[in-house]
Amino acid sequence: MVAAGLPDPSPWPGLPPRVTICEVGPRDGLQNEATVVDTAVKVEFIERLVAAGHTVVEATSFVHPKWVPQLADAQQVLDKLDRRPGVRYPVLVPNQTGLERAVEAGAAEIAVFGSATETFARRNLNRTVAESMEMFAPVVAGAKERGLRVRGYLSMCFGDPWEGPVPRQQVAEVAGRLLGLGCDEISLGDTIGVATPGQVRALLDLLVAGGVELSRVAVHFHDTYGQALANTLAALQAGVTIVDASAGGLGGCPYAESATGNLATEDLIWQLTGLGIETGVDLAALVQTSVWMAERLGRPSPSRVVRALAG
């Protein structure tokens, strides 16, 4: 039983009136689960998220099953999914082979996943940053030729478990390369959750100074040190209007062991609602969805808002 309740809106001057949430639970949230989730459950999860009001739901990944067994059923998920008009269902692709598989499955939007640091690029993609950009170039070009929208993820934007703090200029340069390849949007990831609001604002200001339009920038925060909501607020104050979040706070990163869960979508919506910012997502319906998913995973949701409203 989900208790009723929403925060009393108190608008904060200078913030956007509306924020688009990129819901990453079905892909980024589930990719680290040790027990393989049934395809039918994944499909129902996505459809529940859309029914709750989400218009961007990252559906799956066409990474080789050897590397992410949890998402080996990408083709089946898209085949069974009742895709609604006006809703975007991006899928992650690692390379040209992944693109071809995604196109064959009928994907209309793809995402590539790069790194701002050399060590993580080698560990995640077995390539240098420059080599990964060379690999992405034909993927992005091929997607654009087919009329597909392309998102570029950039991981380790604030800290790297092997390299430590990441220079902002380094992040800005790699972000510029992704946009230069033709990505419609880039998502700046705090993969291990070490960023603080001042760092977030400084990086965004640097990007703007370099000519990047914040309408093309999303933020993707992990809550390792409890900073995800504060960092989101800093990004909104800078002008960002796209925020990645995961229903119930699911997810981590299979190649960065210190990365705990993503920012919980429910926690984000509670904050945004309190700030008078529209999202179009029904919080009560989303909480019900996260409770349902937690039951299927066999553990309670880590989201504070889910626990508060469903308790």
In the chain the domains, ranked by start, together with CATH numbers, are 20-310 (3.20.20.70)
Q: Output the pLDDT for position 32.
A: 84
Kindly indicate the confidence band of residue 1, based on its pLDDT and cuts at 50, 70 and 90: very low
Does position 259 have pLDDT exceeding 70, yes or no?
Answer: no
List 22, 157, 183, 253, catalytic entry: 253
E strands present in 156-232:
159-160, 164-165, 185-190, 217-221
Judged by phi (left if over 0) then psi (alpha if -120 to 50, else beta), residue 248 lies in: left
Q: Output DSSP code: residue 219.
A: E
Does position 66 have pLDDT exceeding 90, yes or no?
Answer: no
Average pLDDT, the chain: 94
The pTM of this model reads 0.95
- The residue with greater pLDDT, 198 or 260, is 198
Based on the residue annotation, tell me whether 253 is a catalytic residue of this protein: yes
Distances (CA, A) of 185 to 68, 151, 207, 226, 261: 24, 5, 13, 26, 23
Q: For 107-121, 195-209, 293-307, which range has the lowest pLDDT when averaged over its residues?
A: 293-307
Strands 20-23 vs 242-245: parallel, antiparallel or unpaired = parallel
Residue 233: closest CA among 6, 12, 2, 8: 12
Kindly indicate the confidence band of residue 5, based on its pLDDT and cuts at 50, 70 and 90: confident
Q: For 5-19, 31-45, 174-188, 256-270, which range has the lowest pLDDT when averaged over its residues?
A: 256-270
Residues 6, 274: Cα–Cα separation, whole Å: 8
Q: Output DSSP code: residue 35.
A: S
